[in-house]
Chains A and B, each alone.
Chain A
Amino acid sequence: MLRIACPFCGTRDHSEFSYGGDGSVTYPALDAPMQDWHDAVFLRDNICGRQVETWQHVHGCRMWLMVERDTMTHEIFSVRPAHPGLAGALEAAE
């Protein structure tokens, strides 16, 4: 079982969360060329090692999180809210 430290709820079993996917993917502008959309939707780095990925705390606060995790050892290095504004507000509060 992975243990994910939700910044809102505390450390919980990963079975409370739902895995999203590669957190490094950014979507292009709506009128960007087709190739950019193809690459964002279909192509993945598929990193073996440290990757940033999205998880949603579906059975908790329902927030989307950015988790930095090793895809071979499953060690988790950091967890922060996916929403940059919330991440910033949390940091400022610390």
Chain B
Amino acid sequence: MTRFTAWNVFWQGMTGQKGWSRQWRDPEPKAHYDVVIVGGGLHGLATAYYLAKAHGLRNIAVLEKGWIGGGNAGRNTTIVRSNYAQPGNREFYEHSLQLWENLSHELNYNVMFSQRSHIALLHSPGAIDAAARNYNTMRLTGTPDTEIWDLSKLKRAVPHLNYAPDARFPIMGAAVQKRAGTARHDAVAWGYARAADALGVDIIQNCKVDGIARGGGRITALETSRGRITAGKVAFAVAGSTSLLWQMAGLGRLPIESHKLQAFVSEPLKPLLDQVVVFGMGGAHFYISQSDKGGMVFGGDLDWYKSYAQRGNLPIVQDVAEAAMSVLPCLGRVKLLRHWSGVVDMSMDGSHFICKTPLDNLYLNAGWNYGGFKASPASGWWFADLIANDRPAPMIAPFDLKRFERGVQIDERGAGPDCKLHG
């Protein structure tokens, strides 16, 4: 694999770009691996990379039923932030943000991480107080770049929001995380894949797991569309398909439901919005940023009913368009270019699972809701640590399947046990 360096980019530019090697191999699956990761999204690929890089394992495969990054990895709105207030979440997401800050160097791949700041609009004195409480908690617990902005500061930074005092929800200020931002989702999948492949990981695409053989409290083999594969350890990182794999392994029910979330991109515009702006008020939920190509990338709530279909419904298109018009009326005549949806693994408290399972050699990574893009580096890091050492590190100990039995819910939103409400 040719490394990306300034010299190589220059030299290839002078010689017709003919000297690059392929980014990762396309190997035939072997009959046995020490670790098999099911799911070639960000979490699966990051896990494979850190298993090889930090724990020295080599005989690893990632099995992906389609193409890597074809799931939620390549469908999300790419917001990265660590402004969480619940113990457990805030340390985890802050660690993830720190990994993001060096990810392009770590992977020798430009993931276009842009720390352009995350601006959550506030619309009432009560909301400002609540945000101040949350953000003060974050400042005291290791996330120092969280601030509350008053209206004059906000207007200087983003002058073209709808500041009309007679708006239904007039803007009164904002909660801001300055190190937050966006990254290029495809590049993250490809970067992890390329770096994992360079360490010997087999990335096997078009390989669907459709049967799981068990014996003696362990998984003995995986039946795949490309043959039977045995594994010392098996790790699930299949996002919206988690319940299906779990039931294939004969393990019953989970505190997870699959819901679909849509995203939208407009025709490319000249530079318009230099931050991630979030509007959440009353029934509205809306987040928007501008991609490097100029498209306005935005999204809102999930489709409100459980679904495994990767296609969105029209009422949400209308909701999101209405929210867009109420905060950024200048978008009114912009054309929508594409919209799509992904199936997200919504959990009962809105938080994730990185944990051991009832089977000795099976490990679970799931429950990422709307927010699993930003989580992917830390998720891979700690999932690899769990798989390699067969015990949860303190960082992920709260995120097991048994927390509900202990009466613990890590419910950032305070929405209660209803998966669809944890937006």
Taking CB atoms and an 8 Å cut-off, the chain B residues in 78-116 that contact chain A are none
CA distance A22 to B254 in the complex (A): 13
B308 contacts which chain A residues (CB < 8 A)?
Answer: 48, 71-72
**Which of A15, A34, A39 has a CB less than 8 Å from the CB of B315?**
A15
B314 near A: Cβ within 8 Å?
Answer: yes
**Which of A14, A43, A55, A74 has a CB less than 8 Å from the CB of B254?**
A43
CA distance A18 to B315 in the complex (A): 12
A42 with B417: CB separation less than 8 A: yes
B420 contacts which chain A residues (CB < 8 A)?
Answer: 19, 21
- What are the interface flags for A16-57 relative to B under an 8 Å C-beta threshold, 1 for contact and 0 otherwise? 001101100000000000110011011111101001010100
Task: Report, as a range, how many residues of chain B touch the other chain.
Answer: 20 to 34
Q: How many A-B residue pairs have CB under 8 A?
A: 73
B404 with A19: CB separation less than 8 A: no
Taking CB atoms and an 8 Å cut-off, the chain A residues in 64-93 that contact chain B are 71-74
CB proximity of A54 to chain B, nearest CB, Å: 11
CA distance A38 to B258 in the complex (A): 20
B254 with A44: CB separation less than 8 A: yes
B253 near A: Cβ within 8 Å?
Answer: yes
B20 near A: Cβ within 8 Å?
Answer: no
CA distance A38 to B403 in the complex (A): 11
CA distance A19 to B306 in the complex (A): 9
CA distance A17 to B414 in the complex (A): 24
Taking CB atoms and an 8 Å cut-off, the chain B residues in 381-423 that contact chain A are 404-405, 417-420
B residues near A, CB below 8 A?
A: 243-244, 252-258, 304-309, 313-315, 348, 404-405, 417-420
For the complex of A and B, the 7 pairs showing the least CB-CB separation, nearest first, are: A46-B243, A43-B253, A19-B305, A15-B315, A42-B255, A42-B404, A48-B308
